[in-house]
Amino acid sequence: MKKIISFMAFLTIMLVGVGSSLAATHTVNKGDTYWKIGMQYGIPVKSFMSANKATNSMLSIGQKLTIPASSVTNSEKELLARLVEAEAKGESYAGKVAVATVVLNRVDSSLFPNTVNAVIYQTDQFTPVSNGQINKAASSESKKAVKEALAFRGQGSGSLYFYNPAKTTNTWLRAKTTTIKIGNHIFAK
């Protein structure tokens, strides 16, 4: 009996060890790019390239890459996808990515809290939090948009706000510098 328990403990340690090492590296396959791998793991391309001391975007098949730990947890990714679904339902995929990017830009800004949860639940920031729409399931497209926004993180024009001009009369928000218009939303900083 002791041998069986010892073997099971050994097997568990081996499987956990193998699983954690697999999550920390990626072997480059044909067609891989930093962008595709970044989207796959939900990590910023900039930090991914930096972790691998890449000076250009060239990859070689079979190359082993370090996958840096994500600063956004799986539960935060899910929450962000639900916010994207509620805020950008009916908008284009690009609009969904842009909404997720605003939240990540806020996390990175000294003007806002420094976690996805804290940004989303900051008082009076997002209508879906107050009306309960944040609790509805996210579509696969919204989840994909979050992964793309994570890969894109640290790039772009630094939008910190978005609004639908047909739904708001907020003059403070309308006075912000427009960075881009996508669908019904204006993005600004």
> Which domain CATH number covers 135?
1.10.10.2520
**Alpha-carbon dihedral angle through residues 71, 75, 77, 80, given to the nearest 10 degrees:** -120
Are 119 and 85 in a shared domain? yes
Are 29 and 78 in a shared domain? no
Binning pLDDT at 50, 70 and 90, where does residue 83 land? very high
Are 181 and 89 in a shared domain? yes
Domain count, the chain: 2
Are 124 and 87 in a shared domain? yes
The boundaries of the domain holding residue 34 are 25-70
Are 92 and 157 in a shared domain? yes
Closest CA to 33 of 14, 19, 54: 54
Are 143 and 83 in a shared domain? yes
pLDDT tens-digit series, residues 114-169:
999 999 999 999 999 999 999 999 999 999 999 999 998 878 789 999 999 999 88
Are 121 and 163 in a shared domain? yes
Are 79 and 95 in a shared domain? yes
Are 87 and 138 in a shared domain? yes
> Helix 34-41 to helix 140-152 angle, to the nearest 10 degrees?
120
pTM of the predicted model as reported, rounded to 2 decimal places: 0.79
Q: What is the mean pLDDT of the chain?
A: 87
The pLDDT assigned to 157 comes to: 85
| Token pair recorded at residue 136 | 């509805």
State the Cα–Cα distance between residues 174 and 171, nearest whole angstrom: 5
Are 138 and 180 in a shared domain? yes
Provide the CATH number for the domain around residue 58: 3.10.350.10
| Token pair recorded at residue 8 | 């099971």
Instruction: Evaluate whether residue 157 is within a structural domain.
Output: yes
User: How many other C-beta atoms are found inside a 10 Å radius of the C-beta of residue 130?
Assistant: 11
Average pLDDT over residues 82-89: 97
Are 65 and 82 in a shared domain? no
